């Protein structure tokens, strides 16, 4: 089969299309014929290891110290058809359309991928494979951030980094829950953010939201680039500040703030639970939320897709078309 191989740590050029052996599912696994995968900012960070040493060093120990050896194919989410099942699998059969996260197995940038049968879920009927591939990262994290912030109808929420895969889902879910949404991102994303329901938009290159004098019930920093002190200052007295991409300094300061005031700083990874997926799929099938897709690239241009995602200009999601 064709797959994009992660040859070493570095720039997008380290991703090379190669012929590799088709994987065989274990007894409790399914093999998926991949139709679509995504490129997330997280994929790019792992590929290059451009991240704090407290994160990059454990990844090196897990994947390979000098170059990737344990994991050779990147990609954290995909959608496709069940092509084969292990002998103990009961949830799926050949031909079932599904989507799934691959977690630390990665492996989505290939024509076929094997995952435990507990990972995939049935593809929503009103979504294409490309759209369904965006649910695990964008949909589940967007929902998670809103839930840990206990967002309520009528509250005001600001989402920093609102134009990416997580932010575009978070805006739509927040609007469904009755919140007033302010979306912060670059100028070229303003029209898109309005089109999916943002009540107010701020171009961060022109205006610092933390100096506007406005306050919010909830601030979600998806990208981890907002001023910590400015964000705390912009919270109402019982406000919640969600660190979507936390650094150690922010977590330490967050514990201090949460223990000494009514304001709360929250940081915890998403739990990919069946109930959360059920909630999202119900909203999708009811037409309440949708995937935002910016660009599509064929499998052989996965490196170019990574290069584009690293510019920070993507609106919503970038898709790898594996099987048409």
- Residue-wise pLDDT tens digits, 170-220: 999 999 999 999 999 999 999 999 999 999 999 999 999 999 989 999 999
Task: Specify the DSSP class assigned to residue 48.
Answer: H
- The structural domains of the chain, with segments of one domain joined by +, span 2-134+291-321, 137-266
What are the phi and psi torsion angles at 58 (to 5°)? -60, -35
Q: Are 289 and 280 in contact (CB under 8 A)?
A: yes
In CATH terms, the fold of domain 137-266 is Rossmann fold (3.40.50)
Burial of 92 (0-12, 13-18, 19+ CB in 10 A): middle
Residue-wise pLDDT for 90-148, tens only, equals 999 999 999 999 999 999 999 999 999 999 999 999 999 999 999 999 999 999 999 99
Q: Which whole number is the average pLDDT over 272-279?
A: 94
Residue-wise pLDDT for 19-37, tens only, equals 999 999 999 999 999 999 9
Q: Which whole number is the average pLDDT over 244-248?
A: 77
Q: Which CATH architecture has domain 2-134+291-321?
A: Alpha-Beta Complex (3.90)
Strand order in the sheet with 216-221: 200-203, 180-185, 156-160, 216-221, 235-243, 264-266
Give the pLDDT confidence score for residue 183 in this predicted structure.
98
């Amino acid at each position: 089969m064709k797959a994009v191989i992660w040859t070493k740590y570095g720039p997008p050029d380290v991703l090379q299309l190669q012929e590799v052996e088709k994987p065989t599912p274990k007894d409790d696994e399914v093999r998926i014929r991949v139709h679509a995968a995504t490129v997330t900012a997280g994929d790019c960070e792992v590929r290059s290891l451009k991240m704090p040493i407290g994160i990059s060093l454990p990844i090196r120990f897990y994947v390979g110290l000098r170059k990737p050896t344990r994991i050779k194919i990147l990609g954290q989410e995909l959608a496709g058809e069940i092509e084969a099942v292990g002998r103990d699998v009961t949830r799926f059969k050949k031909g079932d359309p599904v989507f799934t996260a691959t977690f630390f197995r990665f492996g989505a940038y290939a024509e076929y991928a094997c995952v435990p049968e507990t990972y995939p879920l049935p593809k929503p009927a009103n979504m294409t494979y490309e759209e369904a591939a965006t649910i695990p990262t964008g949909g589940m994290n967007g929902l998670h951030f809103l839930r840990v912030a206990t967002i309520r109808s009528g509250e005001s929420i600001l989402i920093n980094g609102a134009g990416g895969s997580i932010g575009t889902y978070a805006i739509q879910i927040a609007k469904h829950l009755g919140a007033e949404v302010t979306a912060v991102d670059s100028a070229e994303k303003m029209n898109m953010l309005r089109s999916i329901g943002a009540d107010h938009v701020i171009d961060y290159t022109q205006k610092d939201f933390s100096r506007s004098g406005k306050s919010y019930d909830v601030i979600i920093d998806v990208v981890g680039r907002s001023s910590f002190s400015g964000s705390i200052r912009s919270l109402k007295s019982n406000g919640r500040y969600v660190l979507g991409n936390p650094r150690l300094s922010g977590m330490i300061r967050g514990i201090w703030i949460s223990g000494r005031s009514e304001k709360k700083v929250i940081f915890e990874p998403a739990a990919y639970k069946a109930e959360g997926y059920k909630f999202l799929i119900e909203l999708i099938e009811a037409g309440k939320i949708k995937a935002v897709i910016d660009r599509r690239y064929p499998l052989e241009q996965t490196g170019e897709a990574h290069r584009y995602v690293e510019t920070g200009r993507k609106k919503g999601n970038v898709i790898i078309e594996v099987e048409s």
